[in-house]
Amino acid sequence: MHESGCFVLPNPWDVGTAIYLRHLGFQALATTSAGFAFSRGKPDGGVSLDEMLRHIGEIAAATTLPVNADFLNGFADEPEAVARNTQLCIAQGVAGLSIEDNTGNNAEPLYEKNRAADRIRAARNAIDASGIPVVLTGRCEAWLVGSPDPFRIALDRLASYAEAGADCLYAPGVQQPKEIEQIVKAVAPKPVNVLVSGFNCQLTVSQLADLGVRRISVGSGLALAAWGAFLRAAQIIQKDGSFNLLAQNAASADLTRIFR
């Protein structure tokens, strides 16, 4: 799927949404760490490794579609631990997984470049040792952590992650067409994933495909769309005593038929 063309990789946050996206005809799925965390009443990054592994396994088992795991920073700092956790993730039945360079530490939000590349290399070695052709995505979080000059940082780091063995490259937050095009060229022929969620939703599939993007994900976008509808309906019930927004609900009978 990554070799030619461009495909959308939507992000369910539970079994029901995974099944429904398969029903719509999508060809692959990806988990969303934020969407799952919010469903557990936790902030993004607030779930444990064991919770995440169970969730990833549930999504992978819910459908025959290939599933890419949003595996955050591999739930470890050291490359050796990233490799061990990558093995655990592979065992959940995923077709792909991503490792990001976000430390979770506000004082030093990104791992030092060489260390970040070593972490990708460790995940690559774990995948190769498994004998399972899992797609490894290397993520640069420069935009999401508010780095100065995120484009320059991402361009440099993604090339490094490609050399370290990442199959696909991803810098969530990039939205300018010229910057996307330059990232695509910098890591070619390896494919690039672009996030479309809120801040850059004006870009269409065809526009991104024309820029050379191979894969498009929506991250927590669908989960936040559901939360948006829930928040608006709940707030108007509490504030005005009106149930009008419930008229826009999905039909229970339709969902029952799909899940039957």
Domain containing residue 20 = 7-220
Q: What is the pLDDT of residues 17-67, one digit of tens each?
A: 999 999 999 999 999 999 999 999 999 999 999 999 999 999 999 999 999
CATH of the domain at 84: 3.20.20.60
Q: What is the pLDDT of residues 115-154, one digit of tens each?
A: 999 999 999 999 999 999 999 999 999 999 999 999 999 9
Residue 18 within a domain: yes
Q: What is the pLDDT of residues 174-216, one digit of tens each?
A: 999 999 999 999 999 999 999 998 765 688 999 999 999 999 9
Residue 24 within a domain: yes
Number of domain units in the chain: 1
Residue 81 within a domain: yes
Residue 253 within a domain: no
Residue 51 within a domain: yes
Instruction: Specify the pTM.
Output: 0.95
Residue 238 within a domain: no
Residue 257 within a domain: no
Residue 48 within a domain: yes
Sign of the alpha-carbon dihedral angle for 159, 161, 164, 168 = negative
